[in-house]
Chain A
Amino acid sequence: MEAQGRRPVSVRSVNCPNCGAATAVRTFGHAVNVVCQSCRSILDAANPGVTILQQYTNAVREEPLIPLGTRGKLLDIECEVVGFQVRQITVEGVAYQWREYLLFNPYREFRYLTEYAGHWNVVSTINALPEGGPTPDGSAPRSYGRQRYRHFQTAVATTTFVLGEFPWQIRVGDTTTGSDYVAPPLMLSAEVDADKEVTWSLGRYVAGDEIWTSLSLPGTPPEPVGVFANQPSPFQGATLAMWRNAMRLVALATLLWLAHLVSARDKQAFAQNFVFDSRTAQEATLVTPIFELDGRPTAVEIETATNLDNQWMFVGYALVNDETGQAFEVGRDVSYYHGVEDGESWTEGSPTDTVTLPSVPAGRYFLRIETEGDRTASPLPYHVRVVRDVSTSLWFMVALVLIVLPPILSSWRALKFEGRRWQESDHG
């Protein structure tokens, strides 16, 4: 057939009627507008004679971070940077500018690479409409490809600077209304051009380092500032994993605790009545007979039961292993006060006290008891009881706190990150 074996479409250049400089056209016949490399006039590339469409008057020149003509593979598709534009929105009197690089491949649709404060997105137009009608209205969420997107911002964008070439008409001062919906790392965007056209596109957040590697650019990309609309949260995945681990550990700790509750024997090892008479001595020391603590090293509970009445008493225990001399010491203040004040009765303390000594090895033990109390008081009878292998729950409570603390901290950081993201939105 006649078309076969044709020569490749060749690269051409246009000469600027304003300054005479030659500018290469990289998109072959796609170019509708070309910006003169030298004087920045916008030229009509489609007409053989090349006419000036808009002349450059602004004194400010924007330099693209990525030079026009740069080639590389972005998200697996070979492309060349052919156009560059700066666009601006104004929110509450503050102007925000971002940069868009037009990406060309002769056998693919045009794509955009956008950059705002060091945050990059590769953007492609989409063939199907998101659910919920073609034009963005209000702040209702959108669905596309089974993914839900939350409304982020709607604003009128104005083109403030152009460079390179475009396959459609472009002028400084062009405006479109854009709406963004986010589901990090994706962003669904609609651009409405008056009553003529609505275009939906899908952007994917790409780290600056990846752009620099893909396009073999020298140096390093600019450091990203703040949190961008569809920037993936560094905490979200990690936090979820931490919660999953924590829940496993909580389940394990609960099982251990339950097993411990069931297996605890609560076996009384020793019990005896004593009397502390403070009239003879303000302090007294006595030693109990030897008793046996058996089994695995388990917790031992010492119970002190008194009939204190608006009195206090100090009991110092030393649980001493008769064979090794190893001692577990613990001091207890036992006090019980009560009365009536302003018609309300009150109590403070308790006449009975219990204390638990964890992990006491088996062996023959005795208690050394030191007592102290008010001299004026009458003789105080008290009962001491030692119980072997009691159940304890404190370790379980401590474990729970230690297990859930890291995921709680991580969740808090994730929440703060989301707060910074949405602060920049219409809903912040």
Chain B
Amino acid sequence: MTSRAASCPNCGAPLVYRWSSSVQTVCEYCRSIVVRTDVDMKKVGQVADLPYDGSPIQLSTEGRYGDKGFVVAGRILYQYDQGTWNEWRIVLDGGIDGWLSDAQNALAVSFLTSGLEIPTLAQASLGRSFVWNGTPFTVVSRTLAHYAGVEGELPFEYWDKTEVTFVDLRSEGADFATIDYSDETPALYIGKAVDFDTVRLRNVRTFEGW
């Protein structure tokens, strides 16, 4: 993978993009969000320190999904009325982008889809079913959330929408889908619910007493 070096437009500290598809990163020193416009880098905002959180996953955690290895490159932390969850951006062997979601240690891996019919937010009510690629999915939760922080490299520009709705769906297999309604055209991610044993995470955080 190509690594490109640049420096933070805010503090001048060195920035390294490890993934060619990364559009933005967060400066490790001054917490500036830096967006790549390919030659020049532009500071678009600044994030507060990430809240103290309990996820065992961290940037550079490695794991396996199916027959491919992956590494964690970035993270979005979402907050909703019940607590928080993480969407870890993972890069799989061959440079495929994916997301490892971690809601209080309940894990799922999913990938952005295109060309599939996505219901409107009103249509996607609790209990409604939709078929994608021959698999029936059913809505199990509707969550109103907002960004609580970002970290590492992300494949799109970080934009500060105040509140967005997510709809999670599951199948009678372990299939998992999530619809992100933050943009005008909603985005559908499809994948599988996974557990710690099958993703075989390495380089995880350690916890005092464990």
Contact A128 B104 (CB under 8 A): no
Contact A168 B126 (CB under 8 A): no
Alpha-carbon gap, A6 to B172, bound state (A): 39
Alpha-carbon gap, A27 to B207, bound state (A): 9
Residues of A within 8 A of B (CB): 1-4, 6, 8-12, 27-32, 46, 105-110, 125, 127-131, 133-135, 167-169, 195-199
22 contacts between A and B (CB under 8 A): A1-B60, A2-B28, A2-B60, A3-B58, A8-B207, A11-B209, A28-B207, A29-B55, A32-B83, A106-B54, A106-B205, A107-B56, A107-B210, A131-B172, A133-B129, A167-B104, A168-B82, A168-B83, A195-B142, A197-B143, A198-B127, A198-B141
Contact A134 B127 (CB under 8 A): yes
Question: In this complex, which of B138, B193, B201, B209 has the most chain A Cβ atoms within 10 angstroms of its Cβ?
Answer: B209
Residues of A within 8 A of B174 (CB): 127-128
Residues of A within 8 A of B51 (CB): 29, 46
Alpha-carbon gap, A198 to B126, bound state (A): 8
Alpha-carbon gap, A131 to B138, bound state (A): 11
User: Which residues of B (54-104) have their CB < 8 Å from a CB of A?
Assistant: 54-56, 58-61, 81-84, 104
Contact A196 B104 (CB under 8 A): no
The verdict on B13 contacting chain A, using a C-beta distance below 8 Å, is no
Q: Closest approach, in angstroms, between the C-beta of B199 and any C-beta of chain A? A: 11
Contact B170 A127 (CB under 8 A): yes
**Residue in A6, A110, A195 whose beta carbon sits within 8 Å of that of B104 in the complex:** A110
User: Which residues of B (157-210) have their CB < 8 Å from a CB of A?
Assistant: 170-176, 193, 195-196, 201, 203-210
Residues of B within 8 A of A30 (CB): 53-54, 104-105
Contact A31 B54 (CB under 8 A): yes
User: Which residues of B (118-158) have their CB < 8 Å from a CB of A?
Assistant: 125-127, 129, 138-143
Alpha-carbon gap, A12 to B140, bound state (A): 34
Residues of B within 8 A of A46 (CB): 51, 83-84
**Residue in B56, B58, B171 whose beta carbon sits within 8 Å of that of A6 in the complex:** B58
Contact A128 B105 (CB under 8 A): no
Alpha-carbon gap, A9 to B141, bound state (A): 31
Q: What is the predominant secondary structure among interface residues of chain B facing chain A?
A: loop
Across the interface, name the chain A residue whose C-beta is closest to B52: A29
The verdict on B106 contacting chain A, using a C-beta distance below 8 Å, is yes
User: Which residues of B (11-39) have their CB < 8 Å from a CB of A?
Assistant: 28
Q: Closest approach, in angstroms, between the C-beta of B77 and any C-beta of chain A? A: 10
Contact B83 A130 (CB under 8 A): no
Alpha-carbon gap, A32 to B83, bound state (A): 6
Other contacts beyond A9-B206, A32-B84, A127-B176: 7, CB < 8 A: A2-B28, A9-B54, A12-B52, A127-B106, A127-B170, A128-B175, A197-B142
Residues of B within 8 A of A12 (CB): 52
Contact B208 A10 (CB under 8 A): yes
Do A106 and B142 contact each other (CB < 8 Å), given the known contacts A1-B59, A195-B126, A198-B126?
no
Residues of B within 8 A of A125 (CB): 106
Q: Closest approach, in angstroms, between the C-beta of A357 and any C-beta of chain B? A: 70
Alpha-carbon gap, A4 to B173, bound state (A): 35
Contact A3 B203 (CB under 8 A): yes
Residues of B within 8 A of A (CB): 28, 51-56, 58-61, 81-84, 104-106, 125-127, 129, 138-143, 170-176, 193, 195-196, 201, 203-210
Contact B172 A130 (CB under 8 A): yes
Residues of A within 8 A of B126 (CB): 134-135, 195-198
Alpha-carbon gap, A212 to B127, bound state (A): 40
Alpha-carbon gap, A46 to B174, bound state (A): 31
Contact A108 B193 (CB under 8 A): no
Residues of A within 8 A of B138 (CB): 129, 133-134
Across the interface, name the chain A residue whose C-beta is closest to B148: A46
Do A27 and B54 contact each other (CB < 8 Å), given the known contacts A109-B195, A110-B104?
yes
Contact A197 B141 (CB under 8 A): yes
Alpha-carbon gap, A322 to B142, bound state (A): 100
Contact B127 A135 (CB under 8 A): yes
Residues of B within 8 A of A129 (CB): 138, 140, 170-172
Across the interface, name the chain A residue whose C-beta is closest to B168: A197
Do A110 and B208 contact each other (CB < 8 Å), given the known contacts A32-B82, A198-B127?
no
Contact B106 A109 (CB under 8 A): yes
Contact B83 A169 (CB under 8 A): yes
Contact B206 A8 (CB under 8 A): yes
Q: Closest approach, in angstroms, between the C-beta of A372 and any C-beta of chain B? A: 84
Do A169 and B82 contact each other (CB < 8 Å), given the known contacts A108-B196, A127-B170?
yes
Residues of A within 8 A of B170 (CB): 127-129, 134
Alpha-carbon gap, A109 to B51, bound state (A): 20
**Residue in B104, B106, B195, B208 whose beta carbon sits within 8 Å of that of A9 in the complex:** B208
Residues of A within 8 A of B61 (CB): 3
Alpha-carbon gap, A198 to B174, bound state (A): 16
**Residue in B82, B193, B203 whose beta carbon sits within 8 Å of that of A128 in the complex:** B193
Alpha-carbon gap, A131 to B104, bound state (A): 25
Residues of A within 8 A of B56 (CB): 106-107
Alpha-carbon gap, A297 to B209, bound state (A): 81
**Residue in A128, A168, A195, A198 whose beta carbon sits within 8 Å of that of B173 in the complex:** A128
Residues of B within 8 A of A128 (CB): 170-175, 193
Question: In this complex, which of B82, B125, B206 has the most chain A Cβ atoms within 10 angstroms of its Cβ?
Answer: B82
Contact B208 A3 (CB under 8 A): no
Do A29 and B53 contact each other (CB < 8 Å), given the known contacts A127-B170, A128-B170, A168-B104?
yes
Alpha-carbon gap, A134 to B170, bound state (A): 9
Residues of A within 8 A of B58 (CB): 3, 6
Residues of B within 8 A of A106 (CB): 54, 56, 105, 205, 207, 210
